Amino acid sequence: MITPRAAASCLAFLLVIMPGARALALKVERIPHFSPASGRTSTINAAAGSAIVRFKTGVSSSAAAAALAPAGFAVLKNYERFNWSALALPEGLGVAAGLQLLGTSPVVEWAEPNRVYRPKKTSNDIYLAQQYALSRVQAFGAWEYETGFSSRATVAVLDTGIDGSHPELSGKLIGTSRKFDPFSGAASDNQPPTAACNHATRAAGVAAAASDNSAGVAGMSWGAKLLSLKVFADTDCYDDCGDEAGYLSCSTSETSIAAAVDDAISLHDTAAAGKVIINMSLGDSGTCSGPLQTAVNVATTTGLMLFAAAGNSGASFIDTPANCEGVIAVGATDLQDGQASFSNSDTLMITKGVAAPGVDLYTTNINGGYASATGTSFSSPLTAGLAALLWSARPDKTGKEIWDVIKNSADDLGSPGPDRDFGYGRINALKAMRLAVTGSTQFAGTNKAVAYPNPFRPGTQRLVTFTVPEEMSAPSVEVKIYTSEGELVRKLTSSAWDGKNEAGAAVASGVYLFRVKTDKDAAVGKMALIR
């Protein structure tokens, strides 16, 4: 049996060997939260011992600090760019009581909790299909236009820290990797970057793993750079980032997120980083807070793009910061192009959201490995990587214009038009690239070719012929026949087929795909062959 005195001695020993323990594992409080929109009171997670305030106009930060000091409040950091400050509460004072006390201060304009955010993920499923997602969003066709090397774009991964030793990521890192104290937001260098757990390394690989290098996996953007902004503590996160018992594990705060956003803002449109896209595969329930919205507003006004995971609770609302104005929310689709069972829905998706594959994405993992990852945490960087790819092709476009390209080229799923499940639809990299480069989503394969007769019966009908729209007609024609699984059966230099493969053997009954290419364009179609 451990006596109280022994327990106290043990605690004292731990405090000696673990100085600054508060900074290593963020303590979290659940506090009441009233939503004016719904008129309901719920609870939100807040960083214990801290708050966010804006001082009144004309009150300097030093004067405000002096006014609050007698009550035990201390300024942790002044976010001058966002015009608010992070405070440490008096020892032992709860967040709700601290906010109430700050609300009565003559130097404080408003006071809000320092909200808590976590990496968004579900448990890993069994690996099913290596990088099927790239095929689903037609990345291979997009790469015919642009692979990301023509100009610079950087995906800033605001997460648990990228494993900078991974061979597919180490060469993509730019600038100085940074880590931010989850409590105060204080920044320090983390060069080369280290990982608190696997989460950020997996997200980074989805967005921009080294590609076309005869090894590993391909990122959505081959040429995009990566910036590691670690907002979680090493000792507070586990390899699976999943232990949320008591809502104490692997947590960060609003102040830390804001500090990382501030860091990214300073790099936007610099020679090293180029265009900066922030990916935030983290979040929590509740509405977007005023302090965080202020940081987002400054970032978007500066020209950055911000993407965030919609959340994995299968809820009827998306998480914050995905619900912040100016942040693009990304939901997840499954292997059948339906909404993933865990992906959150929200009417906000109708105006600010898209979806992307989020089940079993094969990607980079810590310690130089690879793993299958599931969750909106990985749908978001896939979309952020697409933004980097598009910005590389069209660096003259603004972030808003790149977003217009992404949403206007998405494949409509679910109910016709934008909806609460898929937003504008599931991203389509090829259509997006075509729209960015040519101004139209029409591309080779959009046009439809026709087979006659269909179904084709080789036993009684000697040939099947293929025709294309009149505007595509040209003397030179090439036809390729594929199985429904995409295996090439026959390549023709005429517009007729006898139902035989390259070896001259009769093919089996079934459904076949065909692609007709002329000097002007290309078209695709489908036919049945019956023996």
Q: Mind telling me the catalytic residues?
A: 159, 199, 377
Q: 279 — phi, psi (to 5°)?
A: -110, 130
Euclidean distance between CA atoms 189 and 203, whole angstroms: 21
Asked if omega into 106 is within 30° of 0 (cis), the reply is: no
Euclidean distance between CA atoms 116 and 294, whole angstroms: 16
- Amino acid letter, 206: V
Q: What is the dihedral of CA 259, 30, 90, 53, to 10 degrees?
A: 40
Euclidean distance between CA atoms 131 and 121, whole angstroms: 18
Radius of gyration over every alpha carbon of the chain, rounded to an integer in angstroms: 27
Q: 141 — phi, psi (to 5°)?
A: -70, -35
CB distance 48 to 27 below 8 Å: yes
Q: How far out from the chain centre does Cα 488 lie?
A: 35
CA distances from residue 28 to 19, 31, 32, 113 in whole angstroms, order as listed: 19, 10, 13, 11
Q: Report the phi/psi class of residue 99: left, alpha or beta, with left for phi > 0 and alpha for psi in -120 to 50.
A: alpha
CB distance 215 to 168 below 8 Å: yes
**CA angle in degrees (0–180, nearest 5) for 86-204-294:** 30
> And the tokens for 39?
């008129």
What totals of helices (H) and strands (E) does the chain contain, helices first?
13, 25
Euclidean distance between CA atoms 393 and 385, whole angstroms: 13
Q: 498 — phi, psi (to 5°)?
A: -100, 5
303 burial level (CB within 10 Å; 0-12, 13-18, 19+): middle
Give the dihedral sign, CA 216/120/283/307: positive
CA distances from residue 461 to 334, 497, 511, 512, 531 in whole angstroms, order as listed: 41, 11, 17, 17, 10
